[in-house]
Amino acid sequence: MTAGHVQPAGAAWVHRAIGLIQADYQRSADTHLIALPLEPYRGAGIDLYFKDESTHPTGSLKHRLARSLFLYALCNGWVREGTTVVEASSGSTAVSEAYFAQLLGLPFVAVMPRSTSPEKVDLITFYGGRCHFVDNAAQVYDAARQVAADTGGHYMDQFTHAERATDWRGNNNIAQSMFSQMAHERHPVPCWVVVGAGTGGTSATIGRFIRYQMHHTQLCVAEPEGSVFSAYHRSGDATLQAPGSRIEGIGRPRVEASFIRTLIDRMIDVPDVDSLAAMHSLGRLLGRRLGPSTGTNFAAMLTLANEMRERGERGSVMSLICDGGERYQHNYHDPAWVQQHFGQLVVESPVLTRL
């Protein structure tokens, strides 16, 4: 800093905070890309890949978003020394934001539906965060705004800022990492990338990157039951509402600002029983437990791979492992809970017959 130059009040703290996040980033490794050689697809020249986002320090794809949202809020002057950070979340983002709030020594409040898995609640508390529960997903927004007002804090608002806080042109975003890790594969530029949408931020980042890089890749969003995005994608009516999704992390009761429908080439509606069946099947194929939104991705991938096979088309299909099954011991990986919420249907899912 030049002699005699007066730094704005609080700037030193913000610089130190940005430095702490950069150092954390420097200590972190990128996530793996897992190839799944699956017949009859491989024999037909179709390769399946999963970007394993469960290996981030906070266990999900939301680790990247939380880092971007904190840098965005710090650089906008919205978060300063002592600011209480508040977020509305289905759980995953709140776990990752609690981690970064702790890194910066800031209070953190997660506003979540009461149904959020207890494992995620424990993780938020583990990172020093406080949980504020509401009865259903549609109430999180106003409740988070109120908590921010009551504490004089900042509502991070992932649903609005996810699509703009992430650098979609590069900077090792999820898309750049996925495409560069495909460099030595037999079909390095995938035909399809399949993701779910909660905020819509992941699909927005990948969709923009694909176009910016002028790839021929198409983007597909795997949509669970009870979500508004498929109808919105068809009609463009942003006032649409829906009952809400039972697949944690994806599907929304209202159209979110970060869901950019013009970036999405195709929506595939996946019945919840297929999501759960696919979650279990892929888990068996990879030898580990996965989260339900990864099952939704896999079910949609199989639909696309089957269509490619029928057309005699060769190529790669990529998707994400969004988080691990260890977060869902009390619900999606508990047979009694599945029976109670989904009945016996899961074992009859057509997904299983395709494998």
Ligand X SMILES: Cc1ncc(COP(=O)(O)O)c(C=O)c1O
- Exposure string over 34-61, b if 16+ CB within 10 A, otherwise e: eebebeebeebebbbbbbbbbbbebbbb
Rule CB under 6 A: is residue 275 a binding residue for ligand X? Answer: no
Beta strands 33-36 and 46-52, pairing class: antiparallel
Tell me the per-residue interface mask from 284 to 323 with ligand X, x by CB under 6 A, - otherwise. -------x-x----------------------------xx
CB of 327 to ligand X, least distance (A): 8
Site for ligand X (CB under 6 A): which residue of 59, 153, 198, 244? Answer: 198
Separation of alpha carbons 175 and 159, rounded Å: 20
Separation of alpha carbons 41 and 107, rounded Å: 49
Cα 16 to Cα 64, 81, 155, 166, 255: the distances in Å are 20, 10, 22, 21, 36
Separation of alpha carbons 278 and 129, rounded Å: 33
Q: What are phi and psi of 112, to 5 degrees?
A: -140, 155
Is residue 245 within 8 Å of 225, Cβ to Cβ?
yes
Count the residues of the shown chain that bind ligand X, applying the rule CB under 6 A. Answer: 20
Residue 40: both structure tokens together: 């009859």
Site for ligand X (CB under 6 A): which residue of 113, 153, 190, 200? Answer: 200
Rule CB under 6 A: is residue 201 a binding residue for ligand X? Answer: yes
Q: Contacts with ligand X in 11-50 (CB under 6 A)?
A: none
CB of 207 to ligand X, least distance (A): 11
Q: At what angle do helices 92-104 and 118-126 cross, to 10 degrees?
A: 10
Give whichever of 47 and 323 is closer to ligand X, judged by the CB atom.
Answer: 323
Closest CA to 344 of 277, 270, 247: 277
Residues 15/205/121/244 CA torsion (nearest 10 deg): 140
Site for ligand X (CB under 6 A): which residue of 31, 68, 93, 227? Answer: 93
Give whichever of 244 and 291 is closer to ligand X, judged by the CB atom.
Answer: 291
Piece in contact with ligand X (CB under 6 A), picked from 16-24, 55-63, 104-112, 173-181: 55-63
Give whichever of 199 and 349 is closer to ligand X, judged by the CB atom.
Answer: 199
CB of 156 to ligand X, least distance (A): 13
CB of 256 to ligand X, least distance (A): 8
Piece in contact with ligand X (CB under 6 A), picked from 67-75, 200-208, 298-306, 328-336: 200-208
Site for ligand X (CB under 6 A): which residue of 88, 111, 124, 197? Answer: 197
Rule CB under 6 A: is residue 69 a binding residue for ligand X? Answer: no
Q: Which residue is nearest to ligand X (CB)?
A: 249
Q: Contacts with ligand X in 231-250 (CB under 6 A)?
A: 249-250
Site for ligand X (CB under 6 A): which residue of 129, 196, 251, 295? Answer: 196
Q: Contacts with ligand X in 96-155 (CB under 6 A)?
A: none
Query: Which DSSP letter does residue 32 get?
Result: P
Q: Considering just the CA atoms, what is the radius of gyration of the chain in Å?
A: 20
Binding site for ligand X (CB under 6 A): 60-62, 90, 92-93, 162, 196-202, 249-250, 291, 293, 322-323
